[in-house]
């Protein structure tokens, strides 16, 4: 039987030294001791996962979005270092991780489970981003669940994507199953995205279950799905946090935008709602600006102010609101100060649930968080 030193020298492992963890294919020095060996050992043919360390739920979540491929790569070391080196009230303490690829294929495996253990060991709060009703993979596997075109066949939105019928309860159960798998993998929160009806090219969409004018509005369907997921998941995992991404424009209008998202109604169900208030996505003329993207503080502050009015009219507390912020160049070249301005606007609005930073390239600048 090979000795421990030989196993450690030949294995791929997650180790910890001086409070920092990293993935390495190199031998682990004996000087790193048992603390290093306790985090996880990944053998060539089998990954051995240790028990999950206790999860710390931040009062204010300050999260960076990362893809599953970045989480599994050496580039994650740089993001971990950025988080650990940051200081002050804008310092990140969490990450939002995709657990599906673009087609909807689930990416939860032992490599991801090991990476989540690393995050928890480092006291970085892990959030699973779960795309709900836009899913090419499941639409192809189960076409009876999917939206069809008027002439038959699977319907595509303007971006070429397939959608599941949001009123299909079998789809709800499928999503709940993935969410539970993510919790078992070590995530402390499930963030539901595309939790809505499709918004583009819908004039040719035919839903196999939902019927317009049949007594269930789109917003009724989405709230019903939200309650199902909450009850189904929290029955087994009462401490898990459940959140949902919503269009930023839902804070601008009391009426449904045609996608079924009511911000006050969803806030009454989930632990937090996450409006995507990207200034680049607002039209010319909003808040009096020809180019809203160039005015991130004003757009964030103005949107939250209008949202507060909508919540007051619905008699819903304006508290569990955690916006997504823009950290990418669209409409303007986004400097670190422009990203920070959005965070200041969130704090100035009296919100304390935190924020989520969307940078699709996952290239985060330390200057933002100092």
Residue with tokens 């599994």: 72
Integer Cα distance of 190 and 229 in angstroms: 11
Question: Are 30 and 101 within one domain?
Answer: no
> If you search the block for the tokens 């009096």, which residue do you land on?
288
Please state, in angstroms and rounded to a whole number, the distance separating the CA atoms of residues 207 and 221. Answer: 13
Shared-domain flag, residues 37 and 165: no
> How would you classify residue 287: left for phi > 0, otherwise alpha for psi between -120 and 50, otherwise beta?
left
CB 40 within 8 A of CB 50: yes
Give the pLDDT confidence score for residue 3 in this predicted structure.
Answer: 37
User: Do residues 261 and 132 both lie within one domain?
Assistant: yes
Give pLDDT tens digits for 207-234.
999 987 667 899 999 999 999 999 999 9
Residues 6+ apart with CB under 8 A from 212: none
Whether residues 40 and 64 share a domain: the answer is no
Examine the domain organization and report whether 10 and 56 are in the same domain.
no
Residue 7 sits in which domain range? 1-48
Residue 331 and residue 233 share a domain: yes
d(C-alpha 245, C-alpha 241), whole Å: 13
- Integer Cα distance of 235 and 337 in angstroms: 43
Distance of alpha carbon 113 from alpha carbon 186, whole angstroms: 7
pLDDT in tens, the chain (370 residues): 333 333 222 223 333 332 333 332 223 333 333 333 344 444 445 678 999 999 999 999 999 999 999 999 999 999 999 999 999 899 999 999 999 998 999 999 999 999 999 999 999 999 999 999 999 999 999 999 999 998 889 999 999 999 999 999 999 999 999 999 999 999 999 999 999 999 988 888 999 999 876 678 999 999 999 999 999 999 999 999 999 999 999 998 877 888 999 999 999 999 999 999 999 999 999 999 999 999 999 999 999 999 999 999 999 999 999 999 999 999 999 999 999 999 999 999 999 999 999 999 999 999 999 8
Give me the sheet containing 40-42, strands edge to edge. 20-24, 12-17, 40-42, 47-48
User: Quick one: pLDDT at residue 213?
Assistant: 61
| Cβ–Cβ < 8 Å for 125, 186 | no
Same domain, 238 and 345: yes
First-residue to last-residue Cα distance in the chain: 51
Confidence at residue 10, expressed as pLDDT on a 0 to 100 scale: 27
3-class secondary structure, 354: strand
DSSP string, 240-287: -EEEEEEEGGGGT-SS--SS---HHHHHTTSSEEEEE--GGGSPTTGG
Q: Note the pLDDT of residue 253.
A: 84
According to the model, what pLDDT value does residue 46 have?
66
Q: Do 282 and 224 sit in the same domain of this protein? A: yes
Give the Cβ contact number of residue 345 at 10 Å: 24
The SS3 call for residue 338 is helix
Q: Say whether both 28 and 57 belong to one domain.
A: no
Give the Cβ contact number of residue 178 at 10 Å: 19
Same domain, 216 and 303: yes
Tokens of 118: 């690393």
My answer on whether 133 and 10 are in the same domain is no
CB 307 within 8 A of CB 275: yes
What CATH number should be reported for the domain holding residue 78? 3.20.20.70
């Amino acid at each position: 039987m090979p000795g421990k030193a030989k196993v450690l020298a030949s294995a791929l492992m997650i180790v910890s030294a001086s409070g920092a963890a990293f993935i390495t294919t190199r031998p682990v020095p004996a000087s790193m001791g048992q603390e290093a060996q306790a985090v996880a050992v990944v053998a060539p043919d089998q990954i051995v996962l240790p028990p999950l360390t206790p999860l710390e739920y931040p009062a204010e979540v300050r999260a960076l979005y990362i893809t599953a491929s970045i989480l599994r790569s050496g580039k994650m070391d740089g993001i971990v270092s950025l988080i650990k080196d940051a200081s002050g009230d804008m310092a990140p303490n969490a990450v939002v991780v995709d657990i599906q690829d673009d087609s909807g294929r689930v990416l939860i495996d032992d490599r991801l489970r090991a990476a989540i253990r690393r995050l928890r060991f480092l006291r970085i709060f892990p959030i699973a981003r779960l795309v709900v009703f836009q899913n090419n993979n499941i639409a192809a596997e189960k076409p009876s669940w999917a939206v069809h075109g008027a002439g038959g066949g699977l319907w595509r939105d303007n971006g070429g994507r397939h959608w599941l019928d949001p009123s299909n309860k079998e789809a709800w159960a499928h999503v709940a199953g993935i969410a539970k798998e993510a919790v078992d993998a070590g995530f402390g929160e499930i963030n539901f995205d595309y939790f809505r009806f499709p918004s583009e090219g819908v004039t040719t969409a035919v839903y196999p279950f939902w019927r317009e004018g049949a007594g269930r509005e789109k917003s009724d369907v989405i709230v019903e799905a939200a309650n199902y997921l909450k009850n189904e998941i929290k029955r087994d995992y009462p401490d898990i946090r459940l959140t949902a991404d919503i269009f930023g424009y839902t804070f601008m209008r009391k009426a449904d935008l045609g996608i079924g998202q009511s911000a006050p109604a969803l806030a009454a169900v989930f632990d937090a709602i996450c409006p995507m208030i990207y200034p680049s996505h607002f039209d010319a003329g909003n808040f009096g600006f020809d180019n809203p993207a160039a005015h991130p503080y004003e757009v964030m502050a103005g949107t939250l102010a209008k949202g507060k009015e909508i919540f007051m009219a619905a008699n819903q507390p304006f508290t569990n609101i955690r916006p997504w912020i823009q950290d990418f160049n669209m409409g303007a070249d986004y400097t670190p100060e422009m990203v920070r301005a959005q965070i200041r606007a969130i704090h100035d609005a009296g919100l304390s649930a935190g924020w989520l930073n969307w940078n699709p390239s996952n290239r985060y600048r330390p200057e933002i968080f100092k």
